[in-house]
Structure 1
Amino acid sequence: METLRIVNNNLPYRLGEYQESISIRELVFKDALQAVINSKVVCHSIVELYTPTKGVLEDLLWRTKLVQLQRSRQLLNFGVPKVQATKYLGLRLYMITEQFEFKSALLGTRHFVPRYGEREGGIRLPFRRWIKDILRDFGLTVRDLYGSTSDAGPDVRWMMSEGLKLNWQWCIPHMTNAATKVACGMVSNAAQSKNQRRRR
């Protein structure tokens, strides 16, 4: 039963607990030890975890800001999970502390779904607003940053170099991925591939 529980709970598209998990929990735990899990408890737990984590991060940023936050870089990336068609915006900050230690912190991820009215002039305005909102959550502004690292997508690159006036550079994994695709002739449409022999 334990093996079934482990396998079933790690399958994709799981919508709820499997019967094996419920049966094992009922056997092992006394009724007094079973926690009630509902949306109120989950929200409260998230707040309990988020608040001290944000406090520690703000303290690190404040100490780094005293030394030289102008040498910090941000990594901005869009992520699209394979099981969903939704976009997420992630913002990570890289910095050097006063002890010359390299640190990084994921400042936030946001579900990127601009409202219809916001998208009227393209995605650049809501994109810029969301970046500034994430930075503002931690008491930062664009002027506190030295540069940015991202992929070379037109909206992302324009936002980093022109929109926010940061020193933009390629993200090495993105650059390597793009270079590999070009070198191997990989394209989305197999009919347009420049490397037909390897497409079969």
Structure 2
Amino acid sequence: MISRNKRQIDESSLLHEKIRLYTQINDGINQQEQQYSCHVHRMTRRIIDLQQKNKRSSDTVGNLQRKSLDIVTSHYNQVQQKVNIHRMNQIISDRSISVRNQSVQMNAEKILNAYSTSVNQLVKIIYQVVQWREKLVWITQLYFTKMTKVQQQMKLLAGNNEMILRNRINSEIRQCKAMKAEFYMQTLSLSAQSDGTYL
């Protein structure tokens, strides 16, 4: 009777110990999951920021391209207008050939200067477009690098959590079995002593 009560007490103690260990493991896993969720949230926020920056860079490149096209079109129209005016002046003018030649030369110099200015502005805009495109490529590469890193970390954390949990559970089960075996041996010893006493 004493041995049976002792065995029940030992098994109850083992059960409570096992529950405590599982609760401790579960708390540890919950803490790791919270840390993992915070890490994923930060990385997601960073990725969203990169996406927004990528969009702004794309918009800037598009604006520069439209601006360059507008400048070229505007200067082409100005040159064409000056050429038309010059032709009309040649038709209606009664000035001498030398005066007309001088006027043509002056108009040609103005047109060349305007064209040179337009080309310089266009070169600057093209250079800005190239710089923005390089920046856009860099941001895109950084975005994909961050995404790859997040995916790798997610897989690593998932694998680590599963392995840690399995190892902890196996370790605790082994400890519980060892404790149970030890208590069982002690119970047998106490039972033998009790039987000897009664005899």
| TM-score between both structures, scaled by the size of structure 1 | 0.19
Highest CA radius of gyration, 1 or 2?
Answer: 2
Which structure's residues are more often strand, by fraction? 1
Tell me which of the two structures has the higher relative contact order, counting C-alpha pairs closer than 8 angstroms and 6 or more residues apart.
2
Which structure's residues are more often helix, by fraction? 2
